[in-house]
Amino acid sequence: MRNLVLGLQFGDEGKGKITDFISQEDSVLVRYNGGTNAGHTVVTSKGKFKFHLLPAGSLKAESIVLGNGMVIDPEALVKEIGDVLVENPKLHIYISSAAHVVTRMHRFMDGAQERMRGDMKIGTTSHGIGPTYEEKYSRNGIRIEDLEDENRILRKLKFIRELRSSELQDSPFDDRELEKIARELHEKWNYFSKYVTRTEYFLMDSVNNNRHMVFEGGHGTLLDIDFGTYPYVTSSNTISGALHTGSGISLRKIQRIIGVVKAYTSRVGEGPFPTELHGQEADRLREAGGEYGTTTGRPRRVGWLDIPLVNYAANLNDVDEISITKLDVLGEFKTIRICKSYGNKVKVPVDALLGKAVAEPEYIEMDSWGKMSESEIGHIVETGYDSVPQEMKDYVSMVEKLTGKPVKVISIGQIRESTVVRK
Ligand code: IMP
């Protein structure tokens, strides 16, 4: 089965949990967009694992691929490869020679741009993602394949420095520093060059051999550079179609598209958020859900589940089914709410998402299932969906009704095992 897993909100939907859940020991896992601005935490009985570049199921898969659509920070890459190989020493790793390289200079420019934006700032992760994609599209970028040649890296770095002089004012990047960066990047190349290849060939073979594959979209749909809440978005496409340009595999080859929805909404950084909560209610939800960025540690903005937003995303991605994550967290509240529409004044929901119309969320109120103990969760996991509390079943059915998409999997606790398939 060839699967695509992607998020239908503003990122941090828990895609990693679902990717991990559907991956098998013989799977090929693929990332095709973004870089270390993404982040997944997988909690297993052995502990907590944080990945920013590698797909979430890497701990047990047979092969992982970092596709050409990614922007890769070699420093982070070397660390994550080291970590994953301790747990999964037989893992096969394929890194696209055509993926682009994030350097310290790009991270600096990310910060400089944010400062220059003043009150127009985006709230980026400051990982250099935007500037690296800029380099790619102006055709001045450093690709993974360039790291083979230290002189080529240096030439490119110097050229980029010249082009970007206003962003690099007061920066430490003199010739000596650039030589150091070039040398370090080349050293990293020596470490991972054995994994570098034209990944599209391996992927095409995997498709032809009917391998079990899971493509994992980075970031949520509403962070898509075209369809998200521009300019408060990331610098890559995050919708399903990005899989094709970011990996070389046609979307027609994908047999199942799973949209991941967190039982409530969260967002990091600036931008519109129609169902956002404030004050004590927000604090309660943030604490209960542990809503602090995996990548930046920033407290996330939080709010109720927003159906107009999820439906927009589900349509853009043409999802087949939905997985709902973190349902247990809503047990914190006695009454929970779902936004079913934005009120009559908002004809086009995306206008509210873009901040062009004021959304007045219309809510449905539902009874909660209350806090569940670990043993209750364990019991549900053991015995299956039938043991799920009725209030939670009602919530899941309501999401199905409002989205018109089947909910096939739910997640009700932190650890990897706390995932329940709905028959
Ligand atoms: P950038 O991707 O670092 O340029 O950040 C742009 C915006 O996207 C910021 O608001 C980030 O917080 C947000 N963002 C990027 N990637 C993710 C993600 O994986 N989860 C949540 N927010 C993200």
- Ligand 1 atom closest to Cα of residue 126: 3
Ligand 1: centre distance to CA 233 (Å): 7
Return the best residue to mutate from 234, 262, 301 for the ligand 1 pocket (most ligand atoms within 8 A of CB): 234
**pLDDT score at 421:** 93
The 3-class SS string of 264-296 reads: CEEECCCCCCCCECCHHHHHHHHHHHCCECCCC
Q: How far apart are CA 191 and CA 204, in angstroms?
A: 26
What is the Å distance from ligand 1's center to 188 Cα?
26
Helical spans, DSSP H, in 88-198 = 104-117, 129-137, 150-163, 175-192
Active site residues: 12, 40
CA distance 54 to 264: 26
Q: Structural domains in the chain?
A: 2-99+195-256 (3.40.440.10), 100-192 (1.10.300.10), 261-421 (3.90.170.10)
Q: Which of 52, 223, 273 to mutate to test the pocket of ligand 1 (most atoms within 8 A of CB)?
A: 223
- The pLDDT > 90 percentage for the chain reads 84
Pick the atom of ligand 1 nearest to 296's CA.
12
Report whether residue 234 contacts ligand 1, using a CB cutoff of 6 Å.
yes
Q: Using the atom order of ligand 1, give the atom closest to the CA of residue 223.
A: 8
Of 312-316, 363-367, 390-394, 415-419, the poorest mean pLDDT is in 415-419
User: Which atom of ligand 1 approaches the CA of 236 most closely?
Assistant: 2
Residue 219 Cβ < 6 Å to ligand 1: yes
Where do we find the tokens 């990614």? Answer: 70
Q: Does residue 45 surpass a pLDDT of 70?
A: no
* pTM of the predicted protein model: 0.95
Cβ of 130 less than 6 Å from ligand 1: yes
Q: In this predicted structure, what is the pLDDT of residue 56?
A: 87
Expressed in angstroms and rounded, the spacing between residue 268 Cα and the centre of ligand 1 is: 7
123 CB near ligand 1 (under 6 Å): yes
Look-up: residue for tokens 């009985």?
45
The model's confidence at residue 423, banded by pLDDT at 50, 70 and 90, is: confident
Range 118-140 average pLDDT: 96
Residue nearest (by alpha carbon) to ligand 1 atom 2:
234
- Assigned token pair, 206: 């995997």
Between the CA of 123 and the centroid of ligand 1 the distance, in Å, is 8
Spatial separation of the C-alpha atoms in residues 271 and 342, rounded to whole Å: 17
Tokens standing for 166?
């206003």
- The mean-pLDDT minimum among 95-109, 238-252, 374-388 falls in 374-388
Section 371-387 average pLDDT: 91
For the segment 241-261, the average pLDDT, to the nearest whole number, is 98
Among 37-51, 133-147, 164-178, 316-330, where is mean pLDDT lowest? 37-51
Minimum CA distance residue for ligand 1 atom 9: 124
Place of tokens 């270390």: 36
The answer to whether the CB of 129 is under 6 A from ligand 1 is yes
> What H or E segment, with its residue span, contains residue 335?
strand 335-341
Residue type, 420: V
Collapsing DSSP states into helix, strand and coil, what is residue 17? helix
Which of 125, 134, 225, 260 to probe ligand 1 with, by most ligand atoms within 8 A of CB? Answer: 125
Distances (CA, A) of 4 to 82, 229, 260, 290: 26, 23, 10, 26
pLDDT of residue 355: 86
The DSSP bridge partners found for residue 341 are 362
First to last CA, the chain: 19
Q: Is the CB of residue 78 less than 8 Å from the CB of residue 191?
A: yes
Identify the pLDDT of residue 297: 81
Alpha-carbon distances, residue 132 vs 34, 170, 176, 342 (angstroms)? 10, 20, 22, 37
Residue 143, pLDDT above cutoff 80? yes
- CB of 326 within 6 A of ligand 1: the answer is no
When the pLDDT of each residue in the chain is averaged and rounded to a whole number, the result is: 94
Probe residue for ligand 1, chosen from 268, 291, 296, 325 as the CB with the greatest number of ligand atoms within 8 Å: 268
Q: What is the pLDDT of residue 120?
A: 93
Predicted local confidence at residue 57, as pLDDT: 87
Give the range among 6-10, 120-124, 190-194, 211-215 with minimum mean pLDDT: 120-124
- Give tens-digit pLDDT for 273-311: 999 999 999 999 999 999 998 777 889 999 999 999 999
Q: Give the mean pLDDT of 377-403.
A: 95
Least confident interval from 38-42, 100-104, 113-117: 38-42
Identity of the residue numbered 315: N
Segment 142-164 shows an average pLDDT of 98
